[in-house]
Amino acid sequence: MLESPTSRLFRRIGLIALFGGLVVGAVVVGHQSGRQPDTQVLLAQRIALGKQLFNDSHLSADGKVRCASCHMPEKDYTDGRQVAVGVEGRTGTRNTPSLMTLADAQETAFFWDGRRSALDQAVMDPLTNPVEMGLHDQAQLLERVQGDPAYAQAFKQAFPDAKPAISSEHMAAALAAYVRSLRSPESAYDRYAARHDKTQLSPRALLGLAIFQGKGHCAECHRLEGTPAMLTDHAYHRTGVGLDAITANLPALTEDVIKRSLQGGALGNRVATHADEAQLGRFNITQDPADIGLFRTPSLRDVSHTAPYMHDGSVATLDDAIDREVYYRSLQAGHPLQLTVEEREDLKSFLQAL
């Protein structure tokens, strides 16, 4: 007997429903049997949770500040200010670095002085820093997150086998996953380097690249290796910024730092509230006099969009930053590094292509 069109339609609907039921049932059985969810799905859920935490002002002491208050997406995850401004309008001592460079630069040290070597530690420090988000401690942070029903399902999905799902460690993991997911768009220099295509850079930027690699000695610290280029040497250098103001009091400052020997978040809290000690840089971590005034080399990715510059934000423009770097490289080399007006413009054009 021939099947009517109506019968065929209902039979197809029944098969689709049966197939869909089998798929849903397999997913449920797989979850109940303890099989691990797909790694990429878990990562996506942790990134989404990290973004939720990153944008939550409820996780600050005054309910007005969030991670994104200083790391603004529309400003390349910086804030455009000289130094960070936190709870109740309190100002810190350090310029907000971009988060969009961390993954591409393969950073293994965090903050301007490198006081943290793990990203999941670094992302938690601002939450309890007295001039950033200002919570008393991680116990208070945990209490706020556990008390918010909006987080219950998100943590359960991101950490399905953990009991409890909401913990400080899981908050750190989610925030770190989100920060690692941030990437800058492909730059003109990225396209030039990947395809050896000179048309991707302007003639002036090509001349600037030659200066960057040659007489400017920029690439000695802002390395061009890697795909994309890391644009940092992951080391610490002295630019002289901020040292003049503390020279007279340097013996007392360094002695006090050695006596305290603070580490981690405690050190970060101290640096954020004591401007003079903040200028000591890497010395705060190592207590080695050779490290006074040394700061981590920032990646130059998107550098034309992340003014002001230096650890204390005291250099307002890209032109000023070029002049500062040229001057101090001359001092370090022991002979003048002379760039003509045209050469400085060429170098600036290259930096704008990064």
Question: In angstroms, rounded to a whole number, what is the distance separating the alpha carbons of residues 177 and 103?
Answer: 10
283 phi and psi angles, rounded to 5 deg: -55, -35
C-alpha distances out from residue 342 to 158, 207, 320, 339, 348, Å: 53, 10, 15, 8, 10
Strand locations in the chain (E): 236-238, 294-296
Are 122 and 170 part of one and the same domain?
A: yes
CB 118 within 8 A of CB 346: no
Which pLDDT does position 333 carry in this prediction?
Answer: 66
Are 54 and 136 part of one and the same domain?
A: yes
Which residue range forms the structural domain that includes residue 217?
Answer: 188-243+293-351
Last residue of a domain, which of 181, 206, 228? 181
Determine, yes or no, domain membership for 331. Answer: yes
Q: Output the domain CATH number for residue 320.
A: 1.10.760.10
Which pLDDT does position 36 carry in this prediction?
Answer: 60
Which pLDDT does position 24 carry in this prediction?
Answer: 32
Pairing of strands 236-238, 294-296: antiparallel
Positions of the chain with pLDDT lower than 50, given as ranges: 1-33
| Two structure tokens written together for 316 | 């307002």
Question: In angstroms, rounded to a whole number, what is the distance separating the alpha carbons of residues 160 and 126?
Answer: 27
- pLDDT tens for 12-42 read 334 333 333 333 333 333 444 455 669 999 9
Is this structure's pTM higher than 0.85? Answer: yes
CB 274 within 8 A of CB 130: no
- pLDDT tens for 285-343 read 999 999 999 999 999 999 999 999 999 999 999 999 999 988 777 766 666 788 999 99
Determine, yes or no, domain membership for 205. Answer: yes
Are 74 and 211 part of one and the same domain?
A: no
Last residue of a domain, which of 150, 166, 181? 181
Determine, yes or no, domain membership for 142. Answer: yes
Instruction: For residue 91, give the DSSP letter.
Output: B
Q: What is the Cα Rg of the chain in Å?
A: 26
Determine, yes or no, domain membership for 280. Answer: no
- Comparing CA positions, the residue from 8, 112, 12, 134 lying closest to residue 62 is 134
Which pLDDT does position 6 carry in this prediction?
Answer: 39
Which pLDDT does position 1 carry in this prediction?
Answer: 38
